Chain A
Amino acid sequence: MKASRDQIMSDVLGLLRKLSDDWEYTGEITPQTRFFADMGLGSLDVVILGTAVQEHYKQVFPFVELFAQVGQRALPDIPVGEWVDFIHQHLADDGAGAAAARGAR
């Protein structure tokens, strides 16, 4: 069984909150927090985060498609919640992701 959306949200928020201490970002990070406008990340930061997610769940995600879609918007940005939804949607239903998620908690 693959990790639930809540599990993924918990993992992602935990990761971002830990990293944001290094960025000296003092705002609250919630599912509505946007990567670029709120946290001030750059595109390479998001690529690295995507790689970390892939490493965590031992699976390749089509993040390039997500970026392409986001890039067509009037305000191109990615809220944390949308990032989590994307991961949840594409997470393989083979138990590997679930195991990784459990191991990380």
Chain B
Amino acid sequence: MTPRRTVLLGLDGATFAVLDPLMRDGVMPFLADFVSTGVRGDLQSVIPALTPPAWTSLTTGRSPGHHGIFDFFCKESAESHHIRIATARDVHAETIWTLADRHGLRTTALNFPLMFPAPRIRGCVVPGWMPWRQMRLGCHPPELYDRLKQLPGFNARELAMDITPEAKPVQGMRPEEYEEWVVVHIRREQQWGRILQTLMREEPSDLTAIVFDGVDRIQHLCWRYVAPPDEPLSPAGERIRQRCLEYFRELDRMLADVVALAGPEATIVFASDHGFGPQTGTFFANAWLEKQGHLAWADPDVPRASEPEALGIEQLARHSYLLDWEKTRAYAPTPSSNGVHIVRRGPEHPGGVGDDEYEGFRRRLADELRGATDPASGRRIVSRVWTRDEVFDGPFKSLAADLTLELADGGLVSILASDAPFMSRAETSGTHRRNGIFIARGPGLERGLRLAGLSILDVAPLLLHSLGLEIPAEMEGTLPAGAFDPASPHAPTARPARPAAVAHPQAVATPVTEEALFTREDELTLAQRLRDLGYID
């Protein structure tokens, strides 16, 4: 089959709960038209519904236990309590980029996580989640960065993950700062759009893909302004909402330009890595584990969090010496993936849980978590608890958390010590949900169709089909044959079935403030720079 030009437009964190009203109200007219002439559906994300595992699943067609990415961070080994930042070297499944390259096709891939070090493929790569000073190191081919610098309006600090604006949602902002922050993200998306369009014009690829991540960032901070408001906003709130709408208007214009540039014969796929919803409180998982007698701090006078927004991003990796490893039997290492790890007995952890008691301990701990309540309201804090075996399969599942939590408000845990295991937030913020978006249009695809039951694992097979490539047998997703007009010559010849042995990830709502991962760098003192990774007190 001849490869068709194929374009994947990633909208990080996009949800129809926000996009539908924006399309209906004329804020996103291009997207509204596109949806009406294409196929749409909710896209179920993986567990955890978090940027690194989700985009990696979308671009490999494999679930986290098979590709090895569960978080922004990974454990040094299954037995270790040390964690480090995950890189492309930790992705253990073939991506659509390298697969296309093996078949002689060219790819442009922009702003995807876990792409550093960049794959040496035919085409161009600018990885996402790179600090601005190192963007040159991430670009492939190496001379690409010098070309980007020549583009009008190029600003590496804003294009990359510059710390100052990204830290603001965590540190707290005044209403006027919210507006400025949204405007920064408008400029940032414009830069990515310019890069994308330049590369599409000057050296078009068979597969072109980009992630616009401002949707996620804006929804984290401005959910109460972006989501259709339940009651009238204050004048200041209304101004913030208008800025947010300006972001979506600009995004819509840019998407229209990109799709026009791709041409009428291209297959265009919009997808998000997860959806979004409100978060109203914070569960201090390690504080709760301490009260239950499963965790002990090395210093009983360890500082206690007093704010519900304090998630402990800056404490990452510091748990290695903040916790008493002779007494700790369970802990939450990161606030990003809502995972609780059980400490297994071994030379490093003499007080850990032995093999003979593991199953019983895990079951009791899961039951205790399900019974955890907010003392103020009496409501349950945890809505679901999954064991590792329930939701992960594959050779890397031993690196996953022993228990993964879904909180009642869909929110994320804090890893900090606290006197109160649960705190309500004064203002609702946004956080991840499992239902993302899928919209596609192109040769052979139905028009105006709503499709149910789509998994994020199904996107890679669809992209490969459009590229004229065979779908590898090991891919867990399947080509969504129902999206095609059966009379079209572009429709798949046989309706593929999902492999019986492969269960889709079951459920999750594990949100994260990704923007918080690179906090405060510009304001940090010398010592704080190392403190940021938790290597010093």
Contacts and interface: CB of A to CB of B under 8 A. Distances in A.
Interface string B507-527: 000000000001001101011
A78 B205 CA distance: 42
A51 B87 contact: yes
Contact of B131 (A44, A55, A70, A76): A44
Interface string A5-28: 000000000000011001100000
A22 B156 CA distance: 9
Given A48-B116, A51-B87, A52-B117, A76 B137 contact: no
Interface in A18-56: 18-19, 22-23, 36-37, 41-45, 47-49, 51-52, 54-55
Contact of B133 (A37, A45, A70, A71): A45
Interface string A61-91: 0001001101110011100000000000000
Given A22-B136, A67-B535, A51 B529 contact: no
A36 B521 contact: no
A41 B133 contact: yes
B458 interface: no
B530 A67 contact: yes
Contact of A71 (B82, B524, B535): B535
B518 A44 contact: yes
B130 interface: yes
Interface in B480-537: 518, 521-522, 524, 526-527, 529-533, 535-536
A52 B317 CA distance: 21
Given A64-B84, A71-B530, A45 B131 contact: yes
Contact of B117 (A37, A55, A67): A55
A67 B84 CA distance: 12
Given A42-B524, A52-B137, A64-B82, A47 B533 contact: yes
Contacts of B87: 51
A84 B524 CA distance: 25
B116 A42 contact: no
* Interface SS, A side: helix
Taking each of B76, B131, B138, which has the highest tally of chain A beta carbons within 10 Å of its own beta carbon? B131
A42 B163 contact: yes
Contacts of A45: 131, 133-134
* Interface SS, B side: helix
Nearest to A63: B84
A48 B533 contact: no
Chain A: interface residue count, which band? Answer: 20 to 34
Contacts of A23: 133
B133 A22 contact: yes
Contacts of A71: 530-531, 535-536
B503 to A, nearest CB: 33
Contact of B530 (A19, A22, A51, A76): A76
A68 B82 CA distance: 11
Contacts of B116: 48, 51
B416 interface: no
B535 A22 contact: no
Given A67-B530, A70-B535, A76-B527, A19 B117 contact: no
B135 interface: yes
B85 interface: yes
B535 A36 contact: no
A36 B521 CA distance: 11
A36 B117 contact: no
Contacts of B522: 42
Contacts of B156: 22
Interface in B87-122: 87, 89, 116-117
A47 B73 CA distance: 12
A64 B145 CA distance: 29
B527 to A, nearest CB: 6
Nearest to B318: A71
Given A22-B156, A42-B163, A67-B535, A49 B134 contact: yes
B135 A22 contact: yes
B526 A19 contact: no
A42 B131 contact: yes
A44 B129 CA distance: 10
Nearest to B138: A48
Contacts of B521: 42-44
Contacts of B535: 43, 67-68, 70-71, 76
Nearest to A69: B535
Contact of B533 (A19, A43, A54): A43
B529 A48 contact: no
A49 B134 CA distance: 8
A76 B526 CA distance: 7
Nearest to A62: B76
Contacts of A55: 117
B528 to A, nearest CB: 9
A23 B160 CA distance: 13
A47 B72 CA distance: 13
B114 to A, nearest CB: 12
B219 to A, nearest CB: 24
A70 B134 contact: no
A19 B137 contact: yes
Nearest to A37: B526
Interface of A: 18-19, 22-23, 36-37, 41-45, 47-49, 51-52, 54-55, 64, 67-68, 70-72, 75-77
Given A22-B135, A36-B526, 12 more contacts: A18-B136, A19-B133, A23-B133, A42-B131, A43-B533, A44-B521, A44-B532, A47-B533, A48-B116, A48-B131, A67-B530, A67-B533
Interface of B: 76, 82, 84-85, 87, 89, 116-117, 130-131, 133-138, 145, 156, 163, 518, 521-522, 524, 526-527, 529-533, 535-536
Closest 9 CB pairs of A and B: A71-B535, A71-B536, A42-B521, A48-B134, A67-B535, A43-B533, A55-B117, A43-B532, A76-B530
